Amino acid sequence: LLIAEPTVVLPGQYNRDIWNRFDHVFTFYDELVDRYGFEKCYPPRQGFHPWFGESSDYIITEDLSERQERYPLNGRRQAICMINGNKRSSAPGELYSKRLEAALWFYLNSGIAFHVYGFIPFLLPNYKGQIPNNSKLHALAQYKYSLCFENTGHPLFARGYIDKILDSLETRTLPIYLGC
């Protein structure tokens, strides 16, 4: 069993009766490793998105000079970019609502432009639309800053979970981070 989604996305997978049906359980979450002896694995990020197929937009650059060439810092918008699915959850520790709060706060209170992109339109005045498939890194690299809040900030089950910040680090975009 691979437990890859946090409690806010798939709460049903956090169930001992389910875990006991498997010989091996792998997870990104340190608390599950420490508490239950599951095997630690790390989030993959390699040139393939299961919904959109193979794309260079998902390839990680290992060489810093290649990353600098692919994602130059000059010419970027002096603005914050948020690219997320418009999701909701009532599970403890969810950060979906915090993304919306931040986007609206910047729109109402800051001189820094804040652009929101995502699938399923956000009902926000600064929503700019959907990013085309396999174009997330290209779009993110047009900005100086990125709001990258994880799906969860649960005090136990967020420990060890990183996902959203990886795109900011890849594109050399300064992350505004909230998560584990």
Q: What is the per-residue pLDDT across 44-76, written as a single tens digit (0 to 9) for each? A: 665 455 566 666 676 778 889 999 999 999 999
Nearest alpha-carbon partner for 159 in 9, 37, 33, 24: 33
- Let me know: does 32 contact 161? Beta carbons within 8 Å: no
> Stretch 26-36: mean pLDDT, rounded?
91
Examine the pLDDT at 82 and tell me if it is beyond 60. Answer: yes
Share of the chain above pLDDT 90, in %: 59
Rounded to 5 degrees, φ, ψ at 13 are -80, -5
Q: What is the per-residue pLDDT across 114-148, written as a single tens digit (0 to 9) for each? A: 999 998 899 999 999 999 888 889 999 999 999 99
Sign, CA dihedral 5-149-132-68, equals negative
- Let me know: does 24 contact 39? Beta carbons within 8 Å: yes
CA atoms within 13 A on the CB side of 38: 23
Q: pTM of the full predicted structure?
A: 0.83
Residue 157 has a pLDDT of 78
| Structure tokens given for 145 | 């800053």
* Per-residue 3-state assignment (H helix, E strand, C coil) for 81-124: EEECCCCCCCCCCECHHHHHHHHHHHHHHCCCEEEEECCCCCCC
